[in-house]
Amino acid sequence: MAAGRPTPEENGPGLRDPAPWDPDTWDDWSRRDRDRRERAALELDVRARRAAAGLEHENARMSFQRAVRLRMLATALVALPVAASWVTVLAARDAAIASGTGDRSFAPAAFFVLVVSVAVVWFGLRAWVTFLRRRPGPLVLPELPDSPAARRHGSFDGTQEPPRRW
């Protein structure tokens, strides 16, 4: 028996060495086990980050949809009085023409309604464009470590981070 370990001859034919509990073998096992644990932790971390990114994106998208509905309601509430003022001015003009008094007396009111309508449309469109530019972009998930698109360290040229051990 060499160094506390039975030789294969002492074990008998066809039997493997018993598990040797010397420090070198223990280090090999712990290294292999550490790699397995690190791999499992890395997978869990990547999946957690992907799930968090998905939830965050979904919350942002739903919040944006609620804001769009609210702004659509506000736009309709602003557009209705403007449209009603146009109907009122045109109906009054038609009534004046029908009564024979002419349509000149309604020109200032029509011009005022026109200016207000153009201003409302201008500011409304600018507000919508500004608002729609802030919509959430597409969902971008961090790459899985095994995928070809995952970040790799090259020759440590400083462009990417070197791998880290725990």
Q: Answer whether residue 67 shows pLDDT above 90.
A: yes
Q: Answer whether residue 54 shows pLDDT above 60.
A: yes
HSE-up of residue 74 (Cα within 13 Å, Cβ side): 13
- Is-contact 78 72, C-beta < 8 A? no
* Average pLDDT over every residue of 129-140: 90
What residue segments make up the domains of the chain, in order of their start? 23-133
**Residue 90 belongs to what H/E stretch?**
helix 23-99
- Is-contact 127 78, C-beta < 8 A? no
What pLDDT does 30 receive? 64
3-state secondary structure at position 2: strand
> Which of 15-24, 40-49, 95-104 has maximum average pLDDT?
40-49
pTM: 0.58
Task: Give every CB contact of residue 103 below 8 A, 6+ residues apart in sequence.
Answer: 93, 96, 97
